[in-house]
């Protein structure tokens, strides 16, 4: 499912079918300026875990509701299982806690439930369907008339796209707070975390955010900073391929010779060294940059080195449960195992 450690679902938590029911009912209630009904009238379990998950979605059940559940709620089609995929299988019986653990933002899930199986509104500028809708837009656009007539399949790819979009829009301080449990669980960030650690982690998250789909993927996406082991990365097929291209060894020798003269590799010095290596080796494109990326991060792809290098060097000076290796040490380690 995700790279993070699974946590047990709280007893009495909501399923996807129940959470979807609550979200659509909440959208209708807001649109009509009515109170959200009691959990019993909404057909939802009245448990502490269920109430907490409703609050996470921005919904709060009343103690006494002036209105009963609407008729359309009784004909709401269940969510059928998704197609099998590397992410696993998801459906109406999936717990909401599993989606939270995966790292889905509540606004993305509200968006997902509002458009799942419905006809999407069109973008006025492109005349194409528009998937990403704010909670307010969902409230304004969704209506029972948009309900699918039959079962709706859990569209995991749609959820992935929506969550990716909402992660890009999210406040970085909020994402840092949400990410801390994932990092503490793998033992990479202390608890409590001092302000310098939080500031550094926020910048690290910002560096990998453009390629991020779910919060639980943050530790594996940032492993190249926290857990660099040259010998391990030399077994990664993409890294081996980059190192076996013609001219790669010349690039590595030229770069390592210059990088080892630096105690702190700044982006400015890196760019100067990069230009010198290009002139010396006459290599360009991926034949130039990918061997250097493998040397410094273990992988031939990833975030901009202009963003990563300062984070690696600063991380090496922080008091963390794991030791972040500075660039010079990475060069030495790589050269000792790459033969």
HSE on the CB side for 35, CA within 13 Å? 13
**CA 114 distance to own-chain centroid:** 21
pLDDT for 117 equals 81
pLDDT for 31 equals 73
Q: How confident is the model at residue 5 (pLDDT cuts 50, 70, 90)?
A: very low
Residue 11: pLDDT over 70: no
Q: How confident is the model at residue 70 (pLDDT cuts 50, 70, 90)?
A: confident
Quote the Cα angle for 161-87-198, to 5°: 65
Residue 2: pLDDT over 90: no
pLDDT for 63 equals 58
Q: Which helix (H) or strand (E) holds 283?
A: none
In the chain, the percentage of residues whose pLDDT exceeds 90 is 66
Fold classification of 171-224 (topology level):
Helicase, Ruva Protein; domain 3 (1.10.8)
Fold classification of 226-309+323-337 (topology level):
Arc Repressor Mutant, subunit A (1.10.10)
Residue 200: pLDDT over 50: yes
| Cα gap 101→182, rounded to integer Å | 9
Instruction: Retrieve residue 83's tokens.
Output: 């197609």
Closest CA to 76 of 129, 121, 22, 8: 22
Residue 10: pLDDT over 60: no
pLDDT for 64 equals 53
User: Does the domain formed by 16-166 have CATH 1.10.1160.10?
Assistant: yes
Residue 8: pLDDT over 60: no
Residue 214: pLDDT over 70: yes
pLDDT for 7 equals 33
| Cα gap 26→19, rounded to integer Å | 10
Please write the tens of the pLDDT for every residue from 136-175. 888 888 888 878 777 899 999 999 999 999 999 999 999 9
Identify whether the C-beta of residue 321 lies closer than 8 Å to the C-beta of residue 217: no
Residue 292: pLDDT over 70: yes
Query: Where along the chain do its domains lie?
Result: 16-166, 171-224, 226-309+323-337
Please identify which residue in the block is written with the tokens 């530790």: 219
CA dihedral of 104, 105, 111, 116, whole degrees rounded to 10: 10
Identify whether the C-beta of residue 132 lies closer than 8 Å to the C-beta of residue 110: no
**What does the buried/exposed string (b/e) look like for 187-211 if buried means 16 or more CB atoms within 10 Å of the residue's CB?**
ebbeeebeeebbebbbbbbebbbee
Please write the tens of the pLDDT for every residue from 240-257. 999 999 999 999 999 999
| Cα gap 283→254, rounded to integer Å | 11
Please write the tens of the pLDDT for every residue from 175-186. 999 999 999 999
Residue 62: pLDDT over 70: no
| Cα gap 285→70, rounded to integer Å | 61
When the pLDDT of each residue in the chain is averaged and rounded to a whole number, the result is 89
Question: Does residue 74 sit in helix, strand or coil?
Answer: helix
């Amino acid at each position: 499912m995700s790279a993070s450690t699974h946590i047990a679902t709280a007893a009495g938590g909501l399923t996807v079918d129940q959470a979807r029911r609550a979200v659509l009912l909440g959208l209708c209630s807001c649109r009509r300026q009515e109170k959200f009904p009691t959990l019993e009238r909404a057909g939802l379990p009245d448990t502490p875990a269920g109430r907490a998950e409703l609050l996470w979605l921005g919904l709060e059940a009343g103690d006494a509701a002036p209105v009963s559940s609407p008729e359309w709620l009784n004909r709401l089609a269940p969510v059928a299982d998704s197609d099998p995929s590397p992410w696993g299988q998801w459906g109406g019986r999936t717990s909401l806690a599993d989606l939270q653990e995966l790292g889905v933002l509540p606004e993305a899930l509200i968006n997902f439930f509002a458009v799942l199986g419905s006809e999407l509104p069109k973008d006025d500028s492109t005349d194409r369907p528009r998937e990403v809708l704010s909670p307010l837009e969902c409230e304004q656009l969704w209506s029972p008339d948009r309900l699918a007539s039959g079962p709706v399949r859990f569209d995991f790819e749609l959820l992935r796209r929506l969550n990716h979009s909402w992660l890009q829009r999210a406040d970085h301080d909020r994402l840092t707070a949400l990410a801390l449990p994932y990092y503490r669980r793998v033992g990479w960030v202390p608890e409590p975390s001092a302000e310098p650690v939080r500031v550094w982690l926020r910048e690290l998250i910002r560096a990998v955010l453009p390629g991020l789909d779910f919060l639980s993927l943050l530790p594996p996406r940032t492993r190249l900073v926290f857990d660099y082991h040259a010998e391990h990365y030399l077994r990664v097929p993409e890294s081996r391929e980059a190192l076996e291209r013609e001219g790669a060894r010349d690039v590595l020798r030229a770069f390592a010779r210059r990088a080892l003269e630096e105690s702190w590799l700044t982006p400015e010095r890196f760019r100067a060294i990069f230009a010198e290596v290009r002139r010396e080796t006459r290599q360009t494109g991926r034949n130039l940059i990918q061997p250097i990326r493998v040397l410094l991060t273990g992988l031939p792809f990833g975030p901009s080195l202009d963003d990563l290098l300062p984070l690696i060097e600063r991380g090496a000076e922080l008091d963390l449960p794991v030791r972040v290796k500075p660039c010079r040490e990475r060069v030495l380690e790589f050269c000792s195992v790459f033969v």
